[in-house]
Amino acid sequence: MKRKIKVHGPLGILIFILAAVMLGQGREPFATYFYSFAWWSYILAADAMVYWMRGESLIVNRTRTFLLMIPLSIFIWCIFEGFNFKLANWHYITVPQELWKRWIGYAVAYGTVLPGLCETYHLFKAARLFRSASIKRRRLTSQFLQITGAVGIISLVSSLLLPRYCFPLVWIGFALLIEPFLYRFGDDSLLRDMEKGELTRLLTLLAAGLVCGFLWESWNFWAQTKWIYTVPFFERWKLFEMPVLGFVGFPPFTVSAYAMYHMLLVAMRRRKAWMRVILWSAIAIFCLSCFAGIDHYTVVSYIPEVRDLPGVQVEWKERLRDAGIKKVQDLIQKGAPHLVQLGIPQPEAEELIQKAEFITMKGIGLENYHLLQETGVENISMLSRQDPGNLYVRLQEINRRLHLTRCPPAPAIVRLWVREAQKKVK
């Protein structure tokens, strides 16, 4: 029987192409939300491919499950965002200044985590990868389950108490903690699969996590609103924005997300309506509180706008605005010759472009730009010659005195800026 290609597959491909083209031109909303456009495009295309290969798919045949997965995806990722308040392993740069745009962006992006993983898992499953993978059957004892759960608790607690050294444990901790409960409940448990000698589901999940990790980082790398990493001991060797060894964390994270999702389904199953209302209300409150925490702890900079640029004549700002140049990033895309055509003298146009490149470099932003200026660092060349430790101390001292930013950059962020400046002046 010849299976049809569902319309949402080609639609997803077209949306991705449109988003990529518009990103290259700096067009909104694609420049700010490219990551989300890319992921939802992939989810649509992958689901259609799964349907073509298997004759059924999540969106087509289990629409209710797919829609339920989206808010649970937001909740699960917010848990990891909460851990990052202490770990400080990643930071968001050039996010929208308007709160409602930021928070919608958070929700739309975080809602892709479980659907993206699930669709990739089903793609690999349809391709029958690892279908014959197995191990010797072995009954899991109660002691083994207790030890596994205890190791999970220790992993999560130690990642908070010793974040500099134990931060990787957060990615596997939830799987170790929750899987023994799923095993006892008789639900979809990877431990029960292993007891039966079956490894297909586990290996497929791990492979899906690695592929999704590559997609996460590649699409984030090209986006204007994005995240950057400050992972201890792994700050230099990177693929996209991610330290190379950091990709090892995606497979265990996928197993943790799988366990957390099924634990939530168990918690919701056969509950009275009023209990589900309470549970969903708690989830909503937690996610909104997490969004507020992200704004405070994780966001480094906002989208810099031309109207806020210091040292630029009001007349020039008006000309730039009338020409549709609103963001500082737009200045770089247009280039100095275009600014000269608008009536800005050549020297001032080149200086404006240099200022824009400095402000947008690794998400320095306007607040941090003002802070750096107060230390005497006024351009990329000067930043490249700074000692990161000394610069960090000066930034702290000046911000305590002038209160130029709500939260001065962390030492790892300062090191990142100096290294990036050094690359640009070579």
* % of the chain at pLDDT higher than 90: 72
> Which distant-in-sequence residues (6+ apart) come within 8 Å of 333 by Cβ?
25, 26
Helix (H) or strand (E) holding 227: strand 226-229
Pairwise CA distance, residues 252 & 207, whole Å: 10
- Distances 55 to 63, 114, 257 between C-alpha atoms, Å: 15, 22, 26
The reported pLDDT for the residue numbered 257 is 97
Pairwise CA distance, residues 126 & 124, whole Å: 5
3-state secondary structure of 418: helix
How would residue 260 be classed by pLDDT, with cut points 50, 70 and 90?
A: very high
Report the interhelical angle of 63-87 vs 170-185 (nearest 10°): 140
The reported pLDDT for the residue numbered 60 is 94
What are the pLDDT digits (tens) for 56-115?
A: 999 999 999 999 999 999 999 999 999 999 999 999 999 999 999 999 999 999 999 999
The reported pLDDT for the residue numbered 353 is 93
Q: What is the β-pairing status of strands 226-229 and 238-239?
A: unpaired
What are the pLDDT digits (tens) for 3-16?
A: 688 999 999 999 99
The reported pLDDT for the residue numbered 281 is 95
Residue 273 predicted with pLDDT over 90: no
Residue 247 is given by DSSP the state: G
Residue 2 predicted with pLDDT over 60: no
Across 91-100, 235-244, 259-268, 333-342, least confident range: 235-244
Sign of the torsion formed by the C-alpha atoms of 48, 49, 54 and 59: negative
The reported pLDDT for the residue numbered 239 is 85
Q: What is the β-pairing status of strands 238-239 and 90-93?
A: unpaired
3-state secondary structure of 189: coil
How would residue 406 be classed by pLDDT, with cut points 50, 70 and 90?
A: confident
What are the pLDDT digits (tens) for 274-287?
A: 888 899 999 999 99
CA-nearest of 339, 351, 393, 90 to 216 is 90
Query: Which tokens belong to 27?
Result: 């067009």
Residue 159 predicted with pLDDT over 90: yes
Higher pLDDT, 116 or 195: 116
Pairwise CA distance, residues 245 & 237, whole Å: 8
How would residue 1 be classed by pLDDT, with cut points 50, 70 and 90?
A: very low
- Distances 26 to 86, 268, 301, 307, 322 between C-alpha atoms, Å: 34, 43, 18, 17, 17
Instruction: Specify the amino acid at residue 108.
Output: V
Pairwise CA distance, residues 173 & 167, whole Å: 10
3-state secondary structure 171-213: HHHHHHHHHHHHHHHCCCCHHHHHHCCECHHHHHHHHHHHHHH
Residues forming a β-bridge with 90: 229
Residue 267 predicted with pLDDT over 50: yes
Residues forming a β-bridge with 134: 198
